[in-house]
Amino acid sequence: METVVLFYHVLVLAGLLFALGMVIANLACFRGLHAVKEPSAEEAPLVSILVPTRNEALNIEACVGSLLEQDYPRFELIVLDDHSEDGTGEIVRRLGLQESGDRRVISGEPLPAGWTGKGWACHQLSLAARGEFLFFTDADTTHGPGTVAASLAAASEYRADLLSAWPRLVTVTLGEKLIIPMILLLGMSLYPHWLVLLLQKFPRVAKYLPAVVRKGLGAANGQFMFFTRAGYDRIGGHAGLHDHLVEDVALGRAVTERMGEGMRLLNCESLDFSTCRMYRSFGETWEGFTKNMRAAFEDSLAGFLFIGITHCCCFLLPFVLVFTAHSVSVWLLVIAQILTIGLIRLILTARFRTSWLGFLLHPVGEVLALSIGLNSWRRMASTGVQWKGRVYQSSRGIQAK
């Protein structure tokens, strides 16, 4: 029995060391946007800044205000008001956006059957856009004046069809501080961003990988997605993924699925340029992630159970088992596990400038994240999740009311 227990703890430690290696490898190639010289109006391509909104009265003024102050010489700003009930559209119009021109607000069409609300809004924005580049960003973000210029420079340098950046995550309430940084833990320890960059340098090698493998390597962040128009159209845009609730991950996967054809995805960070406060309370954070968690696994119960059980064993149980170890060898292995977890969280907290409470109270955040996952699986299969006045009842083939 002692041998089995030792083997289990060695296996957990190996898993954590693998996660640590993944985090280090990802961050080694995870570049940040940097300030660039403003291009002249003659050489600057038109960039369409596209903001889908629904009931964003608390956020929209700061977001639109920051986008209007971009120092890039050629951009259009289009905000879509998706039947907001809190005066979002009126706020946007008060900021000077008109029904036409380069700074405009458009009213969304009714949601068709089989579409997600955000996907439908983004699709309409893409139809209205005239730019060579499409910059989709959420209404809960803000952007420094050099964001568009820096994004264009990085995307052009890498020849990226999609540049997706991670803004600095603003957290205020305790629930936000504990739960939201878990995105970074999952995103940096599960997705091999470094491998995507490597394979994209050798598309002839990438094309021999099964399509399902290429697709599974992709991910993106819907808060900040900077497409070439040609790349967006090539993957079918939001229309090609109209029933995906977690459309940003699906769009990233659509690009990596085609990296054997030369398409390129660049994930980076925009900490010095952009901020995002995703949710404003514990309840809102709980509901938001409940809506997305099951959808992120595309209704794969096997995938959800594998990741959930593995995460529980690796990132939560060591904090319990350290008090029940019956031998010095086991206790030392558990201590090594806890130190590895601490190092992973320390690196991510420092790199992405998130709250230190998330680092210090990691076990609590882990319990909350696992609970949200279970709640998501239950709710999406039964009553559904209400979000911004619509009810979503599955991650694919949704019923949005």
- Residue listed under structure tokens 């954590």: 16
Position 387 in a domain: yes
Cα torsion 187, 182, 54, 57: sign: negative
Residues 6+ apart with CB under 8 A from 278: 140, 169, 176, 180, 223, 285, 288
Residues 197, 235, single domain; the answer is yes
Position 399 in a domain: no
Q: For residue 175, what is the domain's CATH number?
A: 3.90.550.10
- Cα 347 to the center of its chain, rounded Å: 19
pLDDT at 382: 80
Among 216, 245, 280, which residue terminates a domain? 280
Q: Count up the domains in the chain and report the number.
A: 2
* Entry pTM: 0.94
Residues 276, 315, single domain; the answer is no
Position 401 in a domain: no
Residues 219, 204, single domain; the answer is yes
Residues 76, 191, single domain; the answer is yes
Phi/psi of residue 397, nearest 5 degrees: 60, 45
Residues 300, 191, single domain; the answer is no
Residues 255, 213, single domain; the answer is yes
Closest among 187, 227, 164, 192 to 344, alpha carbons compared: 187
Contact call for residues 241 and 254 (beta carbons, < 8 A): yes
Residues 18, 69, single domain; the answer is no
Q: What does the alpha-carbon distance between residue 170 and residue 151 come to, in Å, rounded to a whole number?
A: 21
Residues 174, 317, single domain; the answer is no
The 8-class DSSP code of residue 57 comes to T
Position 40 in a domain: yes
pLDDT at 198: 95
Among 259, 280, 301, which residue terminates a domain? 280
Residues 6+ apart with CB under 8 A from 28: 194
- Residue listed under structure tokens 């009714």: 110
Q: What does the alpha-carbon distance between residue 109 and residue 106 come to, in Å, rounded to a whole number?
A: 9
Contact call for residues 79 and 53 (beta carbons, < 8 A): yes
Tokens for 400?
A: 């949005």
Residues 275, 298, single domain; the answer is no
Position 55 in a domain: yes
The per-residue pLDDT string of the chain (401 residues; one tens digit each, 9 = 90 and over) reads: 788 889 999 999 999 999 999 999 999 999 999 998 888 778 899 999 999 999 999 999 999 999 999 999 999 999 999 999 999 999 999 999 988 889 999 999 999 988 999 999 999 999 999 999 999 999 999 999 999 999 999 999 999 999 999 999 999 999 999 999 999 999 999 999 999 999 999 999 999 999 999 999 999 999 999 999 999 999 999 999 988 889 999 999 999 999 999 999 999 999 999 999 999 999 999 999 998 888 888 888 898 999 999 999 999 999 999 998 889 999 999 999 999 999 999 999 999 999 999 999 999 999 999 999 999 988 887 878 878 888 887 655 455 44
Residues 202, 131, single domain; the answer is yes
| 3-class DSSP assignment, residue 162 | strand
Position 397 in a domain: no
Tell me which residue range forms the domain holding 67: 30-280
pLDDT at 37: 85
Residues 246, 110, single domain; the answer is yes
Phi/psi of residue 351, nearest 5 degrees: -70, -40
| 3-class DSSP assignment, residue 363 | helix
Position 203 in a domain: yes
Residues 379, 296, single domain; the answer is yes
Position 202 in a domain: yes
Phi/psi of residue 251, nearest 5 degrees: -65, -40
Q: What does the alpha-carbon distance between residue 218 and residue 196 come to, in Å, rounded to a whole number?
A: 8
Strands in 16-74 per DSSP E = 47-53
pLDDT at 42: 81
pLDDT at 271: 97
Q: What does the alpha-carbon distance between residue 220 and residue 164 come to, in Å, rounded to a whole number?
A: 6
Across 351-365, b (16+ Cβ under 10 Å) vs e yields bbebbebbbebbbbb
Among 280, 312, 341, which residue terminates a domain? 280
